[in-house]
Amino acid sequence: MKRRVSMWLGIAGAVALWAVGGLRADEPTPLQTAEEAAKKAVASEEVMQNEWNSREMARSATREIARVERSRSESAVADYRRAIEGVTAAEAAAKAARAAADGEPDAAKKTPLVETANQADAAVAAAKANLEQRLAAMHAALDRLIEDSVAGERAANELLVSENGLRDKMAESRAVELKVLEMKAASADAASVDAAKRAIFEMQAVQLWERQLWAGVQQGTLGQIIEMTDHAGRIAADAATIEPDAARKKTLEEFAQRETKGKTDAEKTNGECAAIVAKAISEIYPLRAAAMGGLTPLAPEKWDLAKARHLLVRAGFGGTPQEVKNLHAMGLYAAVDHLVDFHRQAPAPASLDVIPVPLPDPLEGKLRNAFVRGQAAGARNSIDGGQFGALRQWWIKRMVASPRPLQEKLTLFWHGHFATQQSVVQNTYILYHQNQLFREHAAGNFGGLLYGIVHDPVMIRYLDNNLNVVGHPNENLAREIMELFAMGVDQGYTEHDIREAARALTGYTYDNATGQFRYVLKSHDPGDKTIFGKTGPWTGDDLVNLLLEQPSTARFISFKLYEYFVKKDPAPEVVDKMATVLRTNQYELNPMLKNLFLSEEFYSDAAMGTQIKSPVQLVVGMLRDLGAKEATNFGQIDGMIQEMGQQLFEPPDVKGWRYGRSWISSNRVFSRYNAAATLANSVPLASGASGVDLVGLLATEECKTAEDVIQCLAKVCLAKPLNDEQRAKLVAYLGQLPPQAEWAGQKDAINAKLRNVLVLLLCTPEYQVT
């Protein structure tokens, strides 16, 4: 409930701006009247809520009493049943003893038998006495059970009524609050009309949220009624079968029927509540999207396997048919949450976190340098350079195996966005730490990333900011931070802003020995700078804030994320919506990414199957799609990705990779085909096998005919179905296969045959897009 109250305070703050034109000062405006009503409604809500709380506590007590009573009654019924059995057994024993005594002709032998029979008769009498006691105890327990159950159920039902009342009361308050918002929206000026509309959507979402919340609370109450009536009903029905007294038997039977009906009624209401929860959740997402000013979510019923695959490929790298089915089974909203809230998944296995060693001791370098000029630097470079390949392979392995694929995909995005090159920086150790910065903030806050990058030794070195000192400004970082990292080229800054920003960044350098950021006060220009029309003694930290204030920053980041995840050339209004979400959430990326991955836009025909795969996407996606995450040849894989034009930690320049068509050239068509063919046929796996295991992969699919096999492989590999002509060619090439049940017995031969046709599917223009 807190959330709603704090929102209310926010609204109250804004109300001060309301104009009172046309009305006498002492007469309240309609808005003021509505606001007063809303305030009262919220206050009376709190009274009702207290009442509900006390009812809830009383209900808890009666529920506990009834529970104890039920278990007592259950034991009493069982005791009485055992007593009946005791009487029966004693009577049988007495009858047998008496018969034995009567049938004994020998007087001497007869005497002890008669004694035994007499004792048995006494035991029967004792058992009967016990039976009477047990019956009385059972009657007492059942009387209390009936009484307490009826009271408990009454309390629970009263609670339900109270919950309904409170639910309706709160709905009424929301309606009053909505009215306030609607009045404000109607009179808002052009600048704030969007914000006012968003507040309405937010309130509608709160309305729905509360409705489903109450339905959930009622489900809890109803669950207890069901438990209570079910249990008490069963005890009473059971007791009725052994109750000797006809009147009591009838009472018990009636009580059992009453409980059964109570249970049925509660179950019905419970089902209605579950439907309210499910419906509200599907309505809340679109409202929340609208409240943030975001893109319209896809209707949940349009969620299908092809879209699940699309989501897994774009918001990750891809997955096997089974993984696609699992994601689809979650439903659209849960699937998006599953991928974007990746912090809830286990991190990549610790074995992947091999940290490159830092550079050799700086003192050692200095000493050596004094004697053999240049040698120390050479030694440092060769130690560091030796780790570079390992660093690339470490990352590719993470992308292939991590249970948080979106985290790696975003890390790759930020690496391309804040692009730096190892060939310039020549320090693997600090690059590793930069990479972890991107990973840590991958779906976090863009402000955090921007702050991190002006303090990042890699970027400082790459863009010469270590040379940017007071009196000798170097504009390199200042220019790129505006053009490429935050605002976008020519989007609201001037050459003057760049020169002033360069002054703000003076003194931001790094320590070459430790690879740590350093702020050197004597190198910093302390004078006033005017950036975006604001004057002050700005530092690099201030520059980050000034950049975040620029509307073009949210738009540019949205534009770039859209192009990375959806398609090239987004419509300006789509970018604006994403930017609004980003700004309303103070540059938190998570809500914006969720809004994007839920959106109709993301699943449109123009987006699905139209993205040219980057080399990393091609290879990592292929290994994930074909279930070859356990690959062991990451050195070779790294080489293939480079051959296709994407060396990690070595984008072409500070603008990063261009994506899209830039990946494709006649030369790289062959690089891509050749790499795919090699991996499919011979990727070495941790199991010792080599080549992708298609028999295993297709085990979850039904492949009766060669046609089925081609269809399945096409579904695994391609975003869109093959056309008939291509399919016919592949079916003809594949030829006859034994029934799928026999594949396991001749796995190698079948795999070889399937891989032949797989390679043809991979070496097509169609496989280059997703």
Partner 1 sequence: MTSRIDIATRRSFLTRGLGVVGIAAGARAVVPDFLVRTALAGDRSVSDQKILVVLQLSGGHDGLSAIVPYGDDAYAKNRQASRIPESDVLKIDDYSGLHPNLTAFKNLLDAGHFAAVQAVGYPTPNQSHFTSMDIWHLADNEARSNSTAKESRFGWIGRYCDLACKDAPNPPMAISLGTGQTPRALNGRLSPGISFSQPQSFRYLGDRGNKERAEAYGKMHETTPTGRSHALDFVTRTAIDANAASSAIRDLAGKYKTAVTYPNGSLAASLKTVAALVAGGLSTRVYYVFQGGYDTHFIQKSRHDALMAELGASVGAFQQDLASQGDAPRVLTMTFSEFGRRVTENGSQGTDHGIAGPMFLVGPGVKPGLHGEPPSLEPDRLVAGRDLQHKIDFRGVYAAVLEKWLGCPSEPVLGGTFEPVDCIA
Footprint of partner 1 on 485-514 (CB under 8 A): 488-491, 495
Which two tokens mark 584? 């309303």
Position 469 contacts partner 1 (CB under 8 A) = yes
Position 660 contacts partner 1 (CB under 8 A) = yes
What does the alpha-carbon distance between residue 408 and residue 403 come to, in Å, rounded to a whole number? 10
The residue (of 231 and 755) whose beta carbon lies closer to partner 1 is 755
The residue (of 219 and 611) whose beta carbon lies closer to partner 1 is 611
Position 723 contacts partner 1 (CB under 8 A) = yes
Residues in CB range of 564: below 8 A, 6 or more apart: 413, 416, 659
Position 522 contacts partner 1 (CB under 8 A) = no
Q: Which of 316, 507, 591, 645 binds partner 1 (CB under 8 A)?
A: 645
Positive or negative torsion for Cα 648, 651, 652, 656:
positive
What does the alpha-carbon distance between residue 621 and residue 624 come to, in Å, rounded to a whole number? 5
Report the nearest approach of partner 1 to the CB of residue 489 (Å).
5
The residue (of 13 and 572) whose beta carbon lies closer to partner 1 is 572
Beta carbons of 117 and 94 less than 8 angstroms apart: yes
Q: How many residues does the chain have?
A: 770
The residue (of 177 and 638) whose beta carbon lies closer to partner 1 is 638
Q: Which stretch binds partner 1 (CB under 8 A): 452-460, 511-519, 606-614, 706-714?
A: 606-614
Q: Which stretch binds partner 1 (CB under 8 A): 212-220, 322-330, 656-664, 696-704?
A: 656-664
Q: Which of 276, 543, 622, 644 binds partner 1 (CB under 8 A)?
A: 644
Report the nearest approach of partner 1 to the CB of residue 373 (Å).
17
The amino acid at residue 515 is G
Triad 430, 450, 506: Cα angle to 5°: 75
Report the nearest approach of partner 1 to the CB of residue 635 (Å).
19
The residue (of 3 and 472) whose beta carbon lies closer to partner 1 is 472
Q: Which of 165, 733, 746, 748 binds partner 1 (CB under 8 A)?
A: 733
Position 559 contacts partner 1 (CB under 8 A) = yes
- Mask 427-466, x = binds partner 1 (CB under 8 A)? -------------------------------------x--
Q: Which stretch binds partner 1 (CB under 8 A): 226-234, 296-304, 663-671, 698-706?
A: 663-671
The residue (of 302 and 496) whose beta carbon lies closer to partner 1 is 496
Beta carbons of 367 and 409 less than 8 angstroms apart: no
For 298-335, b/e burial (b = at least 16 CB within 10 A) is bebeebeebbbbbbbbbbbbbbbbebbeebbeebbbeb
For 349-367, b/e burial (b = at least 16 CB within 10 A) is eeeeeeebebbeebeebee
Q: Any idea what DSSP says for residue 591? A: H
The count of other CB atoms within 10 Å of the CB of residue 617 is 24
Position 752 contacts partner 1 (CB under 8 A) = no
Report the nearest approach of partner 1 to the CB of residue 314 (Å).
14
Q: Which stretch binds partner 1 (CB under 8 A): 256-264, 346-354, 482-490, 746-754?
A: 482-490
User: Please, how many CA atoms are within 13 Å of residue 545, restricted to the half-sphere of its CB?
Assistant: 7
The residue (of 3 and 522) whose beta carbon lies closer to partner 1 is 522
| Terminal alpha carbon distance of the chain | 44
Report the nearest approach of partner 1 to the CB of residue 621 (Å).
16
Q: Which stretch binds partner 1 (CB under 8 A): 9-17, 298-306, 340-348, 754-762?
A: 754-762
Q: Which of 60, 662, 700, 746 binds partner 1 (CB under 8 A)?
A: 662
Position 610 contacts partner 1 (CB under 8 A) = yes
Which two tokens mark 593? 């990414």
Residues in CB range of 733: below 8 A, 6 or more apart: 756, 757, 760
Q: Could you give the C-alpha distances from 43 to 21, 208, 542, 556, 607, in angstroms and in order?
A: 29, 20, 43, 44, 49
Q: Which of 22, 572, 688, 745 binds partner 1 (CB under 8 A)?
A: 572
The residue (of 352 and 612) whose beta carbon lies closer to partner 1 is 612
Q: Which of 251, 474, 512, 633 binds partner 1 (CB under 8 A)?
A: 474
Report the nearest approach of partner 1 to the CB of residue 464 (Å).
6
Beta carbons of 559 and 575 less than 8 angstroms apart: yes
Which two tokens mark 286? 């679109």
Q: Could you give the C-alpha distances from 522 to 222, 472, 506, 508, 695, in angstroms and in order?
A: 71, 13, 9, 11, 67
Position 718 contacts partner 1 (CB under 8 A) = no
Report the nearest approach of partner 1 to the CB of residue 646 (Å).
10
- Mask 136-165, x = binds partner 1 (CB under 8 A)? ------------------------------
Positive or negative torsion for Cα 631, 635, 640, 646:
positive
Which two tokens mark 678? 């090699």
What does the alpha-carbon distance between residue 434 and residue 415 come to, in Å, rounded to a whole number? 9
Q: How many residues bind partner 1 (CB under 8 A)?
A: 64
Position 322 contacts partner 1 (CB under 8 A) = no
The residue (of 687 and 723) whose beta carbon lies closer to partner 1 is 723
The residue (of 628 and 679) whose beta carbon lies closer to partner 1 is 679
Q: Which stretch binds partner 1 (CB under 8 A): 68-76, 94-102, 255-263, 607-615?
A: 607-615
Footprint of partner 1 on 22-81 (CB under 8 A): none
Position 426 contacts partner 1 (CB under 8 A) = no
Positive or negative torsion for Cα 164, 284, 200, 298:
negative
Beta carbons of 551 and 579 less than 8 angstroms apart: yes
Q: Which of 535, 665, 700, 746 binds partner 1 (CB under 8 A)?
A: 665
Q: Which of 475, 497, 500, 693 binds partner 1 (CB under 8 A)?
A: 475
Position 168 contacts partner 1 (CB under 8 A) = no
Triad 415, 600, 194: Cα angle to 5°: 90
Beta carbons of 464 and 474 less than 8 angstroms apart: yes
Report the nearest approach of partner 1 to the CB of residue 387 (Å).
25
Position 473 contacts partner 1 (CB under 8 A) = yes
Nearest Cα to Cα of residue 113 among 101, 95, 99, 96: 101
Q: What is the 3-state secondary structure (H, E, C) of 369-431?
A: HHHCCCHHHHHHHHHHHHCHHHHHHHHHHHHHHCCCHHHHHHHHHHHHHCCCCHHHHCCHHHH
- Mask 666-685, x = binds partner 1 (CB under 8 A)? xxxxxx-xx-xxx--x----
Beta carbons of 609 and 306 less than 8 angstroms apart: no
Position 612 contacts partner 1 (CB under 8 A) = yes
Report the nearest approach of partner 1 to the CB of residue 610 (Å).
4
What does the alpha-carbon distance between residue 352 and residue 132 come to, in Å, rounded to a whole number? 74
Report the nearest approach of partner 1 to the CB of residue 456 (Å).
19
The residue (of 539 and 611) whose beta carbon lies closer to partner 1 is 611
The residue (of 189 and 495) whose beta carbon lies closer to partner 1 is 495
The residue (of 124 and 616) whose beta carbon lies closer to partner 1 is 616
Radius of gyration of the chain (CA): 38
Q: Which residues bind partner 1 (CB under 8 A)?
A: 464, 467, 469, 471-476, 479, 483, 488-491, 495, 556, 559, 568-569, 572, 609-612, 643-645, 652-653, 655, 658, 660-662, 664-671, 673-674, 676-678, 681, 723, 725-726, 729-730, 733, 756, 759-760, 763-766, 768-769
